[in-house]
């Protein structure tokens, strides 16, 4: 069986980067994860490896895969739409279907307007 060493420093750095990209404080991010800010600080500094439950929550709120959190750029998927699929799955888990349908209709209207603008200027 192949061994995959866990690099807690790199995992922590990726988590910190994702949190900062979302412009969240450690305290707010920790609240979203149902952990203490001090535990998040230990994870981000590489002094603790998060549990699988915490990794799942981070992956969900950050729209990344657990593979990315653990291995970084060594993701197994070559699908460039993974981010969109992950975000859509999170939205479906978070909001009622009627709100998602409304958001999709709004998104479709926006895309149609964008196409019309391009056609008019092109």
The tokens for 28 are 């707010």
Q: pLDDT at residue 122 above 80?
A: no
49, 9 Cβ separation under 8 angstroms: no
Residue range 39-85, pLDDT digits in tens? 999 999 999 999 999 999 999 999 888 888 998 864 445 566 676 77
Complete DSSP assignment for 21-37? HTT--HHHHHHHHTS-H
- Residue 47 is given by DSSP the state S
60, 18 Cβ separation under 8 angstroms: no
92, 63 Cβ separation under 8 angstroms: no
What pLDDT sits at residue 74? 47
How far apart (Å, rounded) are the C-alpha atoms in residues 71 and 58? 14
pLDDT band at 93 (very low <50, low <70, confident <90, very high): confident
Residue range 5-50, pLDDT digits in tens? 789 999 999 999 999 999 999 999 999 999 999 999 999 999 999 9
């Amino acid at each position: 069986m192949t061994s995959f060493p866990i690099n807690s420093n790199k995992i922590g750095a990726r988590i910190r980067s994702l949190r900062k990209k979302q412009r969240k404080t450690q305290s707010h991010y920790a609240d979203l994860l149902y952990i203490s800010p001090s535990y998040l600080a230990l994870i981000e500094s590489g002094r603790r490896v998060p549990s699988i439950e915490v990794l799942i929550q981070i992956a969900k709120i950050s729209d990344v895969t657990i593979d990315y959190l653990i291995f970084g750029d060594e993701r197994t998927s070559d699908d460039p739409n993974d981010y969109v699929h992950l975000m859509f799955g999170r939205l479906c888990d978070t909001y009622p279907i009627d709100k998602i349908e409304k958001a999709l209709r709004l998104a479709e209207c926006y895309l149609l307007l964008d196409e019309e603008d391009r056609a008019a200027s092109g």
